[in-house]
Amino acid sequence: MWWRSASFILDKQQTEGVSKPPETLSISPPVDESSMADTFQNPNPKISAYYQSRASHTAVVTSDWLAQAQAAVGFPTDEQLLSEADVKDSESGKPFSVIDEFNNWRKQPDLAEAVAAIRSLAAVIRSSQATTMMELEIELKKASDSLKSWDTTSISLTAGCDLFMRYVTRTSALEYEDFKSAKSRLIERAEKFGEISCKARRIIAMLSQDFIFDGCTILVHGFSRVVMEVLRLAAQNKKLFRVFCTEGRPDRTGLRLSNELAKLDVPVKLLIDSAVAYTMDEVDMVLVGADGVVESGGIINMMGTYQIALVAHSMNKPMYVAAESYKFARLYPLDQKDMAPALRPIDFGVPIPSKVEVEKSARDYTPPQYLTLLFTDLGVLSPSVVSDELIQLYL
Amino acid sequence: MDARRGSRVVKPKVRQVGFFTLDAPNPPGRSLSGPVGFGSSQQSLSPPTDPLSPVMIPPPRHLSDNFASRSTILPVPTPANWRNSGDQIHVGSYNPSQTLLATSPSSRIWDDELEMSEDSSTSVPYRRSGSGKIASSLPGLGVHMAAKSSENSQAVPLRTLGPNKPSGVAENNGGVPTEVQNQPPPSSSKSLKAKTTKAERRALQEAQRAAKVSAKGETNKSGTAPGKTVKQPSAMKDSTAAPSVASTDKRGGDRTLDKERKKDAPHPRMQFDDKNRVEKAKKRAVFNQTEARNRVELFRHLPQYEQGTQLPDLVSKFFQLDTIHPAIYKVGLQYMAGDICGGNARCIAMLHAFQQAIKDYSTPPQKSLGRDLTAKIGGYVSFFNECRPLSVSMGNSIRFLKNRIAKLPVNLLESEVKATLCSDIDRFINEKIIIADEVIVRHAATKIRDGDVLLTYGSSCAVEMLLLYAHELGKEFRVVVVDSRPKLEGQALLRRLIASGLKCTYTHINAISYVMHEVTRVFLGAAAVLSNGTVYSRVGTAGVAMVANAFHVPVLICCEAYKFHERVQLDSICFNELGDPDAISKVPGRKDVNYLDNLTAKEQLQCLNLMYDATPSDYVSMIVTDYGMIPPTSVPVIVREYRREHLWI
């Protein structure tokens, strides 16, 4: 099926031009004063911070989530943002903190953690009192380090910070004589980078449209905002397809995805996680998101992705991954246990005796040989290209 | 044009004069030296195509077997240099010979001989058993005197020795029939006597100088010795400079010669089943090697020589190899004997030898340094290639060096050029090998966890450093060293690991599937990594990687990026190296295992001792390089992105 090849899609994309879907993302952080308390320290070290924030805005749809979403949609205007920033600067008996900023951004359910990080780092540049380039760079470095150490388990946060540092500071603009112009150039670059990262999801959705053909059945695992975007666009394009959602234990993110899809009138079927192999023969493709894409081209994703990939591989079904390029991380796990584990509480519904051990790891590593293609904002890539991109970015 | 064509026709003869002294003993050949040469130098005073380095004395060209027949053996010149450069080679653990010498059976003889040579500068460094030439020590005082006097009185003929070769060309050109080529090698002939004495004098001079240098090194007798050694090169420089006045008219011919030489140079990966090419290559070879007769059909395109036939020939020819610098010569011999093995050690040894040669180099008049030096290094490289096929690491560093020479600024003085090149070589060694290894070790150590069982095969210096480093970091792990016959390199590694206090298991490759159960990581070295991710390494590596893959054990390859090559290889047949077939048919130290003793000459039995194999990239989980940890699919990216940098550093 030549028309499903990646290069064809890219060509088509170029010739047709990009039709832009309406702007849905808000640009400013919703200011939530009450959350300032838990900003400096991860309040519950037992649980990976990444999954706390995920749980806060990707868990099963609740009324308060809806309320929050409403609040986010009614975003403040730019002037408001600026004035807020001014206020913050002027009133600062309390110094500017990246983590506060980051947490503000993070509250927004549609905003990826990495993008939040990128934005808060951009804010660091903006509010910096530094008078030399070196000072600014050091400040930036410190901010990104503190962000990274705030949550070491989040791959996209780390990768986003690293990429930002690369993208922003590795520029000839730094050789400007004038510090002011250099700084404004940096801010420009930072904003551009944030914008690119924001648009990434839409680009991916458009790139992957030609892989979804009429009458296909797609198996998805967990809730991924990119995957949601892809499916939403497919539904908007009047494609006829059906989606199998896994339940996504323990946080049941699959339920949320099925709710969203049902709203779009896409036929959905819910499966328990252990029914993947049972239904695989009906499935035409597997589509998953990723927490992080590692250097080998494999992905780190929600627990259960690896076994789905194994089943899909053994049944010769294509396995597609939708991931933004800011999730590309310089990590190279050799096997499942070769990563810092991200822990997550699991509710079994019944009390577990203390003697029984519980595997609390929240994610697994899928090696590249089980992946077919990666849909990224850099294009549709085969897994081996990830490393090429990373080498070019980092070396 | 006529002149050029003429010289082209005569080309093989020139070669013979240059290299094949054994085969060119006839009167016209002889007439090259002495007065005739002097006389003829009027028409052909141009500098020789391969100019002599100032330290090298132009050796006589006809007297090779005179030495043999007289059983006077001369020490290799400049033993002190030898020792110095030997020390230079030991960088870190790159040269495993220090410890390997005692363990590897093949190099035992050499070990003894080397020790001999180090004991006293006067003893014979390269003595082959059975040659019956166990020689006296240095010639006595009288000879010394004679040599000394000759140095003064015979200055003029000596000077002409340099340009002699072209004069010979001219002579031959003038109509000496081509029979020169096919003359049977003579036994020692009376008619050569006149020249013999001169040759002897020359040799004695060499010996004398050697003695002096060593005396300086050992007893610190006086400050005069260094002065002498310094003086002599300058004298030689003068002598080479002398005939330059009249030499301009011959340049054209020389250039064609150069060109032909370049064209004729055997491809490093020559197909040895192509008879024509082999013949051609043999003609220009530095020394004769007897090709092994009984070769495996599939591997006939690879060179294989009878072990032991090369050394005596090469040793006896030492003084004829006027184009080969002693440092190069020494390293070549060490390659051949197996004293230096391992990609890094060989590469470093070669680069140090080049450094030595560059230091002693002086541009012949009417030549541009860049071209001449490149040609010279090309000659050295083909010598190395004859001693043992070049490794990819060596190939890449040669490419680097040649590129550096080509990119030299034109306005530099010769001394500046030499200094730049030497420091470039040092930098290459430092950045691409030593620091690269440190980086690799640091990267790879992050993949070792407490409680790991690491498996390694053979002996790779990067892996060894990694294990020692991880041990220093206090990681708790166990090492399984897998080894195989005939080299048993793993034993040397094991010895060093145990000395550092690591917990080790030693096993042969036969037990690999048994031992793989408990292994959590496999660390392997590589001789080269090719651009399709294929890892080219010591034979047996592919088997280990395959078994590890079957057991789902990750395989990590530690390899410096300068060993990456853009070639693609799918099997281990096209490009490989054949070792000594006797090594696998005989078991050292086991008298009772003698089933093959008389069979090796038989047609039906073909022993295959492959040196390398190709591990497909499917079996490799990760390649650890100085650029970080990359999947095998990213090798071409590194090759592409850093090719320029490799050449420039």
**Which residues of chain B are within 8 Å of residue A388 when distances are taken between CB atoms?**
634, 637
Domain assignment present for residue B607? The answer is: yes
Domain assignment present for residue A13? The answer is: no
At which residue do the structure tokens 């090798």 appear? B635
Report d(CA A378, CA A329) in Å as an integer.
15
Report d(CA B67, CA B340) in Å as an integer.
28
For A208-256, the pLDDT digits (tens) are 998 999 999 999 998 888 999 999 999 999 999 999 999 988 888 899 9
| A195 and A77 together in one domain | yes
Closest chain B residue to the Cα of A333, Cα to Cα: B447
The alpha-carbon gap from A44 to the nearest alpha carbon of chain B, in Å, equals 27
The alpha-carbon gap from A333 to the nearest alpha carbon of chain B, in Å, equals 9
Using the Cα atoms of residue A104, residue A110, residue A114 and residue A118 in order, give the sign of their dihedral: negative
Please give the angle made by the CA atoms of A31, A124 and A110, to the nearest 5 degrees: 45
For A141-176, the pLDDT digits (tens) are 888 888 888 777 788 888 888 888 877 766 655 566
**Which residues of chain A are within 8 Å of residue B641 when distances are taken between CB atoms?**
391-392, 395
What is the number of other CB atoms lying within 10 angstroms of the CB of residue A202? Answer: 20
Statement: residue B521 has pLDDT above 90: yes
| A182 and A208 together in one domain | no
Mean pLDDT for the stretch of residues A341-370: 88
Closest chain A residue to the Cα of B618, Cα to Cα: A369
Candidates A330, A384, A392, partner chain B, best to mutate (most B CBs within 10 A)? A384
| A186 and A294 together in one domain | no
Statement: residue A37 has pLDDT above 50: no
For B457-473, the pLDDT digits (tens) are 988 999 999 999 999 99
Report d(CA B604, CA B490) in Å as an integer.
32
CA atoms within 13 A on the CB side of B176: 25
| A188 and A228 together in one domain | no
**Which residues of chain A are within 8 Å of residue B523 when distances are taken between CB atoms?**
none
Tell if the CB–CB gap between A295 and B633 is shorter than 8 Å. Answer: no
Residue A345 vs residue A21, higher pLDDT: A345
Chains A and B: how many Cβ contacts under 8 Å? 46
For B489-510, the pLDDT digits (tens) are 899 999 999 999 999 999 999 9
* Minimum-distance CB partner of A388 among B627, B628, B637: B637
| A99 and A53 together in one domain | yes
The alpha-carbon gap from B628 to the nearest alpha carbon of chain A, in Å, equals 9
Statement: residue B413 has pLDDT above 60: yes
Statement: residue B415 has pLDDT above 60: yes
Tell if the CB–CB gap between B447 and A338 is shorter than 8 Å. Answer: yes
What phi and psi values does residue B221 have, to the nearest 5 degrees? -60, -50
Candidates B440, B553, B630, partner chain A, best to mutate (most A CBs within 10 A)? B630
Tokens of B136: 């006296």
Tell if the CB–CB gap between B622 and A296 is shorter than 8 Å. Answer: yes
Specify whether the backbone of B422 is left (phi greater than 0), alpha (psi in -120 to 50) or beta.
Answer: alpha
* Minimum-distance CB partner of A387 among B447, B556, B634: B634
Return the pLDDT at B365: 82
Return the pLDDT at B197: 58
Residues B398 and B376 sit within 8 Å (Cβ to Cβ): no
Residue A350 vs residue B114, higher pLDDT: A350
At which residue do the structure tokens 């330059």 appear? B244
Tell if the CB–CB gap between A391 and B638 is shorter than 8 Å. Answer: yes
Domain assignment present for residue A10? The answer is: no
β-strand partners of B564:
B529
Domain assignment present for residue A226? The answer is: yes
Residues A235 and A267 sit within 8 Å (Cβ to Cβ): no
* Minimum-distance CB partner of B447 among A297, A334, A368: A334
Tell if the CB–CB gap between A295 and B629 is shorter than 8 Å. Answer: yes
Tell if the CB–CB gap between A387 and B638 is shorter than 8 Å. Answer: no
Strand ranges, E, within B519-636 = 521-525, 528-530, 535-538, 555-558, 564-565, 612-615, 622-625, 628-630
The alpha-carbon gap from B558 to the nearest alpha carbon of chain A, in Å, equals 15
Domain assignment present for residue B403? The answer is: no
Q: Does A387 touch chain B (CB under 8 A)?
A: yes
Return the pLDDT at B436: 92
The alpha-carbon gap from A295 to the nearest alpha carbon of chain B, in Å, equals 7
Return the pLDDT at B505: 93
The alpha-carbon gap from A369 to the nearest alpha carbon of chain B, in Å, equals 10
Last residue of a domain, one of A199, A228, A262: A199
Report d(CA A20, CA A6) in Å as an integer.
21
**Residue (of A282, A122, A255, A130) closest to A192 by Cα position:** A122
From A128-137, A149-158, B113-122, B385-394, the region with the lowest mean pLDDT: B113-122
Q: What is the share, in percent, of chain B residues with pLDDT greater than 90?
A: 25
**Which residues of chain A are within 8 Å of residue B630 when distances are taken between CB atoms?**
295, 387, 391
β-strand partners of B456:
B481, B523
Q: Does B521 touch chain A (CB under 8 A)?
A: yes
Tell if the CB–CB gap between A387 and B621 is shorter than 8 Å. Answer: no
Return the pLDDT at B597: 77
Tokens of A125: 């540049």
Report d(CA A114, CA A121) in Å as an integer.
10
Q: How far is the first Cα of chain A from the last one, in angstroms, to the nearest whole number?
A: 37
Structural domains in chain B (count): 1
Report d(CA B618, CA B633) in Å as an integer.
10
Residues A120 and A28 sit within 8 Å (Cβ to Cβ): no
Tell if the CB–CB gap between B521 and A395 is shorter than 8 Å. Answer: no
Tokens of B127: 């003595």
Residues A136 and A143 sit within 8 Å (Cβ to Cβ): no
**Which residues of chain A are within 8 Å of residue B629 when distances are taken between CB atoms?**
295, 332
| A190 and A72 together in one domain | yes
Report d(CA A391, CA A386) in Å as an integer.
9
The four Cα atoms A76, A79, A81, A85 give a dihedral, to 10 degrees, of -160
Here the CATH number for the domain that contains residue A386 is 3.40.50.10470
3-state secondary structure of B237: helix
Tell if the CB–CB gap between B637 and A392 is shorter than 8 Å. Answer: yes
Return the pLDDT at B335: 87
Tokens of A105: 């951004």
Return the pLDDT at A15: 52
Mean pLDDT for the stretch of residues A55-78: 46
| A104 and A230 together in one domain | no
| A173 and A39 together in one domain | yes
| A176 and A217 together in one domain | no
Give the mean pLDDT of chain A.
76
Predicted complex ipTM: 0.72
| A244 and A262 together in one domain | yes
Burial class (CB in 10 A: 0-12, 13-18, 19+), A328: buried
Last residue of a domain, one of A199, A220, A249: A199
Tell if the CB–CB gap between B630 and A387 is shorter than 8 Å. Answer: yes
Here the CATH number for the domain that contains residue A191 is 1.20.120
Domain assignment present for residue A339? The answer is: yes
Instruction: Specify which of A117-126, A183-192, A261-270 reaches the highest per-range mean pLDDT.
Output: A261-270
Closest chain A residue to the Cα of B555, Cα to Cα: A334
For B135-184, the pLDDT digits (tens) are 334 444 444 444 444 444 444 444 434 344 444 434 444 444 434 444 44
Tell if the CB–CB gap between B641 and A391 is shorter than 8 Å. Answer: yes
Per-residue pLDDT band at B304 (split at 50, 70, 90): confident
From B255-264, B386-395, B517-526, B605-614, the region with the lowest mean pLDDT: B255-264
SS3 letters across chain A: CHHHCHHHHHHHHHHHCCCCCCCCCCCCCCCCHHHHHHCCCCCCCCCCHHHHHHHHHHCCCCHHHHHHHHHHHCCCCHHHHHHHHHHHHHCCCCCCCHHHHHHHHHCCCCCCHHHHHHHHHHHHHHHCCCCCHHHHHHHHHHHHHHHHHHCCCCHHHHHHHHHHHHHHHCCHHHHCCCHHHHHHHHHHHHHHHHHHHHHHHHHHHHHHHHHCCCCEEEEECCCCHHHHHHHHHHHHCCCCEEEEEECCCCCCHHHHHHHHHHHCCCCEEEECHHHHHHHHHHCCEEEECCCEECCCCCEEEECCHHHHHHHHHHCCCCEEEECCHHHECCCCCCCCCCCCCCECCCCCCCCCCCCCCCCCECEEEECHHHCCEEEECCEEECHHHHHHHHHHHHC
Using the Cα atoms of residue B612, residue B617, residue B622 and residue B624 in order, give the sign of their dihedral: positive
Closest chain B residue to the Cα of A387, Cα to Cα: B634
Q: Does B638 touch chain A (CB under 8 A)?
A: yes
**Which residues of chain A are within 8 Å of residue B443 when distances are taken between CB atoms?**
none
CA atoms within 13 A on the CB side of A216: 20
Domain assignment present for residue A8? The answer is: no
* Minimum-distance CB partner of B554 among A297, A334, A394: A334
Return the pLDDT at B268: 56
* Minimum-distance CB partner of A391 among B552, B556, B634: B634
The four Cα atoms A115, A119, A125, A128 give a dihedral, to 10 degrees, of -130
What phi and psi values does residue A362 have, to the nearest 5 degrees? -100, -10
Instruction: Specify which of A35-44, B101-110, B192-201, B415-424 reaches the highest per-range mean pLDDT.
Output: B415-424
Rg (CA), chain B: 26
| A103 and A66 together in one domain | yes
Residue-range definition of the domain harbouring residue B465? 444-648
Tokens of B428: 């290459």
Q: Does B451 touch chain A (CB under 8 A)?
A: no
- Any idea what DSSP says for residue B273? T
Here the CATH number for the domain that contains residue B620 is 3.40.50.10470
Tokens of A181: 């112009």
Report d(CA B270, CA B301) in Å as an integer.
8
Return the pLDDT at B590: 78
Tell if the CB–CB gap between B641 and A296 is shorter than 8 Å. Answer: no
Q: Does B639 touch chain A (CB under 8 A)?
A: no
Give the mean pLDDT of chain B.
68
Return the pLDDT at B52: 42
For B233-284, the pLDDT digits (tens) are 433 444 443 343 344 344 444 444 444 444 445 555 666 667 777 677 666 6
At which residue do the structure tokens 């809730």 appear? A223
Tell if the CB–CB gap between A391 and B554 is shorter than 8 Å. Answer: no
Report d(CA A98, CA A119) in Å as an integer.
10
Residues B92 and B461 sit within 8 Å (Cβ to Cβ): yes
Statement: residue A130 has pLDDT above 50: yes
Return the pLDDT at A297: 92
H/E element holding B559? none
Domain assignment present for residue A16? The answer is: no
Q: Does B641 touch chain A (CB under 8 A)?
A: yes
For A311-342, the pLDDT digits (tens) are 999 999 999 999 988 888 888 999 888 888 88
- Any idea what DSSP says for residue B528? E
Residues B91 and B429 sit within 8 Å (Cβ to Cβ): yes
Residues 524-563 of B with CB under 8 A from A: 552, 554, 556
Structural domains in chain A (count): 2
Statement: residue B227 has pLDDT above 70: no
**Which residues of chain A are within 8 Å of residue B564 when distances are taken between CB atoms?**
none
Angle between helices B224-241 and B193-219 (to 10 degrees): 140
Return the pLDDT at B199: 60
Statement: residue B608 has pLDDT above 60: yes
The alpha-carbon gap from B408 to the nearest alpha carbon of chain A, in Å, equals 28
For B549-600, the pLDDT digits (tens) are 999 999 999 999 999 998 898 888 888 888 888 788 888 777 787 787 777 7
Return the pLDDT at B286: 60
Strand ranges, E, within B490-602 = 503-508, 521-525, 528-530, 535-538, 555-558, 564-565
Last residue of a domain, one of A165, A199, A233: A199
* Minimum-distance CB partner of A296 among B447, B552, B631: B631
Per-residue pLDDT band at B201 (split at 50, 70, 90): low
Domain assignment present for residue A319? The answer is: yes
**Which residues of chain A are within 8 Å of residue B633 when distances are taken between CB atoms?**
297, 384, 387
Statement: residue B120 has pLDDT above 70: no
Please give the angle made by the CA atoms of A84, A88 and A94, to the nearest 5 degrees: 160
Domain assignment present for residue A131? The answer is: yes
Domain assignment present for residue B59? The answer is: no
Domain assignment present for residue B129? The answer is: no
Statement: residue B548 has pLDDT above 90: yes
Residue-range definition of the domain harbouring residue A183? 33-199
